Amino acid sequence: MNANPKDAFSVSLSKFHRKSVHSQMANTSGSNQLSDVPNTPLPELKVRGLQSAKIKASPKRSPHVLKFYVHDAQCILNDPIKKANRRYENQSEYVFVDTYLDALHMIAQEEKKNKYANGQTIQSEEFSEQQISINPQPTLPNLPAQLIRERMRVYAQSQQKEPQSKSQLAQRQPKKVIKTATSLMTQKIFPNKLTVSLSVHQAIPAIKNKVSAKRWVMFTKQKNEKFFNKQVGWQEFQKGEVASITKIMTCYTTLTYLKECNIEPEQIKIKIPGHAECIDGTSAFLNAGGILTIKQLLFALMLPSGNDAALVLSFTIAYLMILQKTEIYQYNRYLKGAIIDIEPQIERNKKLLKHTFLDQMNKHANSIKMENTNYSSVHGLNDEKNVSCPHDISKLIEKCIQLEVFLEIITTKIFKTHALTDKGSKSTFYKWKNTNKLLKKSGWMGVKTGVTPNAGPCFTGYYKNENLEAIIVVLNCSSMNQRFRDAEVLLVSALK
C-alpha cells in the first residue's frame, strides 16, 4: 500500500468520536484491503499510545480517514505481486479505517472469535500478587479492545464543549482528571513509583500557580528582627542539581579560608594555567599565562559565572591548604607576593587538589546544617551527585551576605581589570558583566544565576530596603527570563 509517512500529520483525540456515517467522502479501499485475506485474523494496532494517530492527505482518499500502523508479521498477503510491491515503514504496513473506534470494534470481534475458539476468555485487567512477584518489573499488558473502546467513548464525550459565557466560565468547577487505561494499570502494578515527593504536611501556597519554578523558597527579615524566617516555599527540601548556584559555595569557601588565615584577597597572585582554557560551559575567558589575584578571580567567578575561574580558585586554595601543613616556607613565600604557578601542581596532584577543596565545601555545608546538600563539583556542570535544595541555599546566602567582600562582588554590575605579565606590566584586558538582570532595579543586591540542561534556569536573589530583607531562591524555572519574573512575583507578595 503506497503511503508515505512523511506526508502524515497528527490528529487530536477530539476527532476520534467522528462517526463514519458523517464521513461521506471516505473511500472503501481500506475495508477492501482488510478483506483481501479473509482467513487471516485482523492484526492488532501497533502500540503508539491512545493520544496519537495518523492520516494521509490524498486526492483519492478522504482527509479524515485514519491510518494506523500494523505489525508486519501479522500481515500475510497471499498475492506474491502485492507482497513484492508493498512499501514498508519500520517493517510495518498501513491499514485504513474510517474511525479509531471502528478499528477497535473490528479487532474486538476477531479477538472474541479466536479466544472462544481456543477455549479462552477475554483477558482481564486485574493482576494477582503472585504474577507481580514472579516478574517484579512486568510489561504493561494490552487491555481488551471493548474496555478501551468504552473509555475512548467517555473521553470523546468529555471533549464536546458547549459555548459558555464569561460568567459561566468564571463560575464553573474544575474538571476531574480522566484516568487512562495505562495510568490505571500502572497504579495497580507500581503504586509506590507514582507518589509525589512533597514536604510533610506541606500546604499548597496561593502563589504557586504564579511561579514557574519547580522548587522555590523565600526567606524574609523585618527591620526589628535578627534572623531570616521562611515566608513561603514549595518543594524547598527537594534535592536536585543547582547548576552555577554551586559557585556561591565556591566563593564562600575561598573567602572563609582567607579570613581564617588573615590573607587579603589581593595578596595572592596566580598564573592562569592552561587547564582553565579547556573547560566547558560559561567562561570568563581567562588567558593562560596571565597573572591575576584571588579577588580578580572572584569577580570572574560570580559576575560572568566563569567555570574557568572556579577551577583556578579551587586548585589554588587547595594547594595553599596543603602547603600550610607540609611546606610552611613555600607557603610564606606566596603570602609575601611570590607568584603561584599552579599548572605543574595540577598535572602532578589534580585529584588530590580537587578532593581537598570539595571536602572543605562539604564541611562548610555540614556546619551550616545544609542537610540536603552534597558538593561534587566546584562550578556546577551536569553532575547527578552535585545536589542541593532551595532551603539549604537560603541558609548559605544568609551566611555569605555577612561577608563584606562577598557583598562588594555581587552588587557589582560591570568589573574592568587587567591581567599582569611576569615582569609586572599590563597584559589582557577583561570586562566582566553580571548575569543578574535584577541589579538594574532598586533594592536588588545580587546574588547568582545558573543554568544547565539537568538543573534548568535557576536564580538566587537578595533584596534589601529600609524595612525588609529577602532571600529568594527559584530553581528549574520555565525560561531564562522567567526566573527573574518568578523572583519578582515572590518579592511582591512579601511587600504587600
pLDDT in the model for residue 496: 73
pLDDT top residue among 236 and 10: 236
Quick one: average pLDDT of 207-228? 90
d(CA 270, CA 349): 17
The secondary structure element, H or E, covering residue 10 is strand 8-10
CB 96 within 8 A of CB 66: yes
pLDDT tens digits, 88-123: 333 344 445 555 566 666 677 777 777 766 665 444
CB 143 within 8 A of CB 125: yes
- In sequence order, which residues have a C-beta less than 8 Å from that of residue 82 and are 6 or more positions away? 36
- In sequence order, which residues have a C-beta less than 8 Å from that of residue 324 and are 6 or more positions away? 261, 331
Torsion of CA 325, 327, 329, 332, to 10 degrees: -50
Alpha helices in 118-209 (DSSP H): 129-134, 145-159, 166-171, 181-189
pLDDT in the model for residue 423: 87
Quick one: average pLDDT of 382-401? 95
pLDDT top residue among 85 and 352: 352
pLDDT in the model for residue 458: 96
> What cell was used for 177?
482528571
Cell 581564617: give the residue: 260
pLDDT in the model for residue 280: 85
> What cell was used for 197?
515527593
Q: Residue 266: exposed, middle, or buried by beta-carbon count in 10 A (0-12, 13-18, 19+)? A: exposed
Would the CA dihedral through 285, 356, 393, 372 be positive or negative? positive
pLDDT tens digits, 5-14: 444 444 433 3
Buried b (16+ CB within 10 A) or exposed e, 276-291: beebebbbbebeeebb
Q: Find, among 141, 150, 260, 148, the residue nearest to 189 by Cα.
A: 141
Record the pTM.
0.61
Q: Find, among 203, 110, 193, 101, the residue nearest to 151 by Cα.
A: 101
pLDDT top residue among 202 and 327: 327
pLDDT in the model for residue 113: 74
Confidence category of residue 438, pLDDT binned at 50, 70, 90? very high
pLDDT in the model for residue 158: 63
